[in-house]
């Protein structure tokens, strides 16, 4: 049978007419005007009173229809509540004809703006920014379609500044459809600024989602991948295994996760989020201690030198969206050493507790012979400690070991810019040879008071120190009763130190600007002296050397003097040797100074008086 060219031509023309009609019918469903009308309708349904502006619309035709919208802005009440850099929709033409197929949606630079001033409150209910539930009605030709969604640079931002609350750098969902299982991939960058350093990680999640109208089921696996920053701080990658349920009708989600490092479980967690609040609970069993390096400013103290091993405990975070308030608290414990300034280590258990700006760090040794507690209050905005109170306690240990933790009074007096603090160090039944001592050292700084107190005693001896500075007025009192001095005692450094000494007497001082211009009284005796050094021994040595005497070789010495308005009256400097020497006189930088040497027990020796020209007793340094 022969078919003429005319018949063939008619068939081809008919076929083109049919295809053209189908394509026109399909195109009429997706033409820009129709699609823009559909978007506007959905926006008005969910954001009443808003205005949608699209700067540029373009479309094309090949194996599929493509529609591109650029620079989309959503405004309401003169405020920008959302913007999209570009949206591209690709729909195969057979999907428009058969309602079957896979469409593609590509989104870039999506910004959702939140106005903190218009967040919902208990009285106002729903925010002016966000609807309570988002409802989207799709045209018939898209209800049975599958969508592959690609999005990048998605952010939830503060409308008033550049702050980003939440960012997704990449999102991919393959062949999304209600009732069907779809694969997804998401990358969330996480950046935290702490102590002027930015710490950046990426949360990568891979999994599948089965969306139903009542609930969406998620299964996923992912990991935190940290990036090295300029202070070389980098955490081990944490792997996450989890399941989530999302209820779109109430915008609620619940998640359960397992946390792993190198295939080893370090803890579990749960998350629950709704329109009203977010709750995150993490329960750690083996959290690596190097994670504490991130918050070392909050937990650091002189006795926690290294962060090693693993910690166990809980961390909770709660944020109320109605009041825009957040609360974080937790408790973590780990084994470690309490390190004293003499480099000795006491093993025990540390614990870190925190609730927002309040942080508590404690330590206890197994037998209770050493304990530590520190409560800090933080300026969370600037990541600085603004106030702390700490207590360090010892029981039954060597006094030489525990006394090393006490700060010298001179170091404390010279401190200027410190957070407000109080440090208490107590010693109960601590041993010094065969003697049992109890002691209490307490010093601190507040807006109107700076103080240093010390009390150390056994049954036969005692030492007391009391220093205070309030509104520029300074007072210092020292009192010794039959007190044995040991080389490990440094709390009076650099004024007095010795290999050994037996001290009796008192020193009192009151001054405002400089100690030389204040009022002083000293009545103190030292015996059994060996290797004495410091500013007070230097004064004694220089005074004795004025008469060619060597005070360093004399085991018993006493100093009785008074001072007022830059005039130092040496009532007696006694150097008790084979023949006790006594030096007395008046020293001043503003009037004539002189010293006299006599030997009270040797009547044959006549007193010698010498004029003092060089004010060797003056010290330009502050006391």
Q: How confident is the model at residue 110 (pLDDT cuts 50, 70, 90)?
A: confident
CA 171 to chain centre: 32
Is the residue at 52 inside a domain? yes
Please state the rounded mean pLDDT for residues 596-604: 85
Res. 623: pLDDT tops 50: no
Nearest by Cα to 405 from 331, 302, 483, 334 = 302
**Please, what is the angle between helix 5-30 and helix 32-46, to 10°?**
20
Tell me the C-alpha distance between 322 and 251, whole Å: 15
pLDDT in tens, 356-379: 889 999 999 999 999 999 999 887
- Measured CA to CA in angstroms, residue 311 lies from 158, 165, 283, 287 at distances of 36, 29, 11, 5
Whose tokens are 């001033």? That residue is 117
Q: How many CB atoms lie within 10 A of CB 79?
A: 15
Q: How confident is the model at residue 351 (pLDDT cuts 50, 70, 90)?
A: very high
* Domain boundary, last residue among 275, 303, 337: 275
Is the residue at 6 inside a domain? no
Structural tokens at position 457? 């005693």
Structural tokens at position 526? 């030292």
Tell me how many domains the chain contains. 3
Shared domain for 163 and 44, answered yes or no, is yes
Shared domain for 115 and 260, answered yes or no, is no
What is the full DSSP assignment across 145-207?
Answer: -EEEEEEEEEEEEETTSS-EEEEEEEEEEEEE-TTS-EEEEEEEEEEEEETTEEEEEEEEEEE
Structural tokens at position 393? 């306690």
Is the residue at 582 inside a domain? yes
Tell me the C-alpha distance between 220 and 259, whole Å: 12
Is the residue at 381 inside a domain? no
Of 35-39, 132-136, 233-237, 512-516, the range with the lowest mean pLDDT is: 132-136
Shared domain for 202 and 107, answered yes or no, is no
Helix/strand/coil for 494? coil
- Which position has the higher pLDDT, 531 or 43? 531
Task: Give the helix/strand (H/E) hosting 245.
Answer: strand 238-247
Tell me the C-alpha distance between 571 and 245, whole Å: 88
- Which position has the higher pLDDT, 347 or 20? 347
Shared domain for 166 and 78, answered yes or no, is yes
Task: Give the helix/strand (H/E) hosting 208.
Answer: strand 197-211
Shared domain for 167 and 271, answered yes or no, is no
State the residue range of the domain holding 605: 494-623
Please state the rounded mean pLDDT for residues 164-189: 82
Shared domain for 513 and 621, answered yes or no, is yes
pLDDT value of position 196: 60
On whether the pTM is more than 0.85, the answer is no
Please state the rounded mean pLDDT for residues 450-474: 94
Tell me the C-alpha distance between 437 and 4, whole Å: 124
Question: If you ran DSSP here, which 8-state letter would residue 381 be given?
Answer: T
Res. 34: pLDDT tops 80: no
pLDDT value of position 239: 87
Shared domain for 29 and 172, answered yes or no, is yes
Res. 509: pLDDT tops 90: yes
Please compute, for residue 8, the number of CA atoms within 13 A of its CA located in the half-sphere on the CB side. 4
* Domain boundary, last residue among 244, 275, 306: 275
* Domain boundary, last residue among 258, 275, 292: 275
Res. 295: pLDDT tops 80: no
pLDDT value of position 17: 46
* Pair 492, 408: CB distance under 8 Å: yes
For residue 55, count CB atoms less than 10 angstroms from its CB and return exposed for 0-12, middle for 13-18, buried for 19 or more: exposed
pLDDT value of position 321: 64
Tell me the C-alpha distance between 278 and 32, whole Å: 40
Tell me the C-alpha distance between 252 and 113, whole Å: 20
Structural tokens at position 394? 């010892």
pLDDT value of position 143: 61
Nearest by Cα to 449 from 424, 421, 427, 425 = 421
* Pair 68, 59: CB distance under 8 Å: yes
Q: What percent of the chain has pLDDT over 90?
A: 33
Q: Which residues contact 79 (CB under 8 A, 6 or more apart)?
A: 113, 115, 159
Q: How many CB atoms lie within 10 A of CB 53?
A: 10
Shared domain for 218 and 170, answered yes or no, is no
Shared domain for 24 and 151, answered yes or no, is yes
* Pair 384, 417: CB distance under 8 Å: no
* Pair 96, 141: CB distance under 8 Å: yes
Is the residue at 183 inside a domain? no
Shared domain for 69 and 216, answered yes or no, is no
* Alpha helix stretches (DSSP H) within 460-527: none
pLDDT value of position 234: 53
- Measured CA to CA in angstroms, residue 389 lies from 231, 364, 419, 478 at distances of 29, 17, 10, 25
* Pair 510, 475: CB distance under 8 Å: yes
What is the number of H-type helices and E-type strands within the chain?
8, 31
Q: How confident is the model at residue 131 (pLDDT cuts 50, 70, 90)?
A: very low
Q: Mean pLDDT, the chain, as a whole number?
A: 81
Q: How confident is the model at residue 301 (pLDDT cuts 50, 70, 90)?
A: confident
**CA-based angle 356:358:364, to the nearest 5?**
125
Shared domain for 166 and 270, answered yes or no, is no
Helix/strand/coil for 143? helix
Shared domain for 108 and 233, answered yes or no, is no
Tell me the C-alpha distance between 524 and 350, whole Å: 44
Tell me the C-alpha distance between 72 and 87, whole Å: 9
Question: If you ran DSSP here, which 8-state letter would residue 307 be given?
Answer: -
* Pair 488, 497: CB distance under 8 Å: no
Is the residue at 87 inside a domain? yes
* Pair 371, 365: CB distance under 8 Å: yes
Is the residue at 191 inside a domain? no
Tell me the C-alpha distance between 463 and 491, whole Å: 12
* ω into 494 cis (within 30 of 0): yes
Q: How many CB atoms lie within 10 A of CB 268?
A: 16
Q: How many CB atoms lie within 10 A of CB 58?
A: 11
* Pair 397, 369: CB distance under 8 Å: yes
What is the full DSSP assignment across 318-345?
Answer: EEETTTTEEEEEEEEEEEEEEEPTTS-E
The winner for highest mean pLDDT among 10-14, 79-83, 582-586 is: 582-586
Res. 567: pLDDT tops 60: yes
Is the residue at 407 inside a domain? no
Backbone angles phi, psi at 15, to 5 degrees: -65, -45
């Amino acid at each position: 049978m022969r078919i003429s060219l005319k018949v063939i031509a008619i068939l081809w023309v008919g076929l083109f007419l049919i295809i053209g009609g189908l394509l026109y019918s399909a195109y009429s469903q997706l033409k820009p005007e129709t699609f823009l009308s559909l978007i506007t309708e959905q926006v008005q349904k969910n954001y009443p009173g808003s205005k949608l502006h699209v700067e540029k619309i373009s479309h094309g035709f090949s194996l599929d229809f493509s529609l591109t919208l650029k620079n989309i802005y959503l405004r309401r009440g003169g405020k920008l509540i959302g913007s999209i850099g570009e949206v591209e929709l690709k729909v195969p033409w057979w999907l428009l004809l058969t309602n079957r197929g896979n469409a593609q949606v590509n989104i870039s630079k999506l910004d959702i703006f939140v106005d903190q001033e218009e967040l919902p409150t208990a009285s106002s209910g729903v925010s002016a920014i966000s609807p309570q539930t988002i409802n989207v009605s799709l045209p018939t030709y898209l209800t049975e379609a599958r969508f592959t969604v690609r999005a990048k640079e998605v952010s939830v931002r503060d409308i008033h500044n550049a702050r980003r609350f939440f960012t997704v750098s990449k999102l991919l969902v393959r062949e999304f459809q209600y009732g069907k299982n779809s694969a997804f991939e998401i990358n969330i960058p996480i950046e935290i600024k702490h102590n002027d350093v930015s710490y950046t990680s990426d949360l990568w999640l891979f999994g599948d989602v089965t969306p139903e109208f009542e609930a969406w089921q998620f299964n996923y696996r992912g990991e935190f991948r940290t990036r090295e920053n300029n202070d070389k701080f980098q955490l081990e990658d944490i792997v996450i295994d989890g399941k989530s349920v999302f209820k779109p009708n109430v915008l609620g989600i619940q998640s359960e996760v397992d946390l792993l490092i190198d295939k080893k479980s370090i803890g579990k967690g749960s998350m629950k989020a709704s329109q009203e609040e977010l709750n995150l609970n993490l329960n750690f069993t083996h959290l690596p201690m190097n994670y504490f390096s991130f918050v070392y400013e909050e937990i650091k103290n002189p006795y926690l030198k290294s962060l090693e091993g693993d910690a166990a405990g809980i961390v909770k975070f709660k944020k109320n969206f109605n009041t825009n308030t957040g609360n974080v608290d937790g408790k973590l414990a780990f084994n470690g050493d309490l390190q004293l300034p003499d480099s000795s280590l006491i093993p025990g258990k540390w614990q870190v507790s925190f609730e927002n700006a309040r942080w508590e760090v404690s330590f206890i040794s197994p037998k209770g012979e050493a304990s530590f507690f520190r409560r800090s209050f933080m300026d969370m905005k600037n990541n600085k400690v603004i106030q702390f109170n700490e207590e360090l306690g010892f029981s039954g240990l060597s006094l030489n070991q525990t006394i090393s933790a006490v700060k010298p009074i001179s170091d404390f007096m010279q401190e200027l810019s410190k957070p407000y603090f109080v440090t208490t160090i107590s010693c109960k039944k601590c041993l010094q040879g065969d003697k049992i001592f109890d002691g209490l050292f307490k010093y601190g700084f507040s807006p109107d008071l700076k103080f240093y107190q010390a009390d150390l005693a056994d049954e036969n001896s005692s030492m007391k120190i009391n220093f205070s500075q309030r509104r520029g007025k300074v007072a210092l009192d020292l009192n010794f009763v039959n007190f044995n001095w040991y080389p490990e005692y440094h709390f009076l450094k650099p004024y007095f130190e010795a290999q050994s000494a037996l001290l009796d007497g008192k020193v009192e001082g009151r001054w405002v600007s400089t100690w030389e211009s204040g009022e002083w009284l000293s009545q103190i005796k030292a015996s059994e002296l060996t290797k004495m050094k410091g500013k007070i021994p230097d004064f004694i040595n220089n005074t004795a050397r004025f008469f060619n005497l060597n005070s360093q070789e004399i085991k018993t010495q006493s100093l009785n003097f008074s001072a007022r308005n830059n005039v130092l009256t040496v009532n007696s400097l006694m150097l008790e040797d084979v023949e006790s020497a006594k030096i007395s006189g008046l020293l001043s930088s503003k009037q004539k100074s002189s010293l006299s040497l006599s030997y009270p027990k040797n009547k044959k020796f006549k007193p010698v008086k010498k004029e003092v020209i060089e004010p060797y007793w003056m010290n330009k340094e502050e006391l």
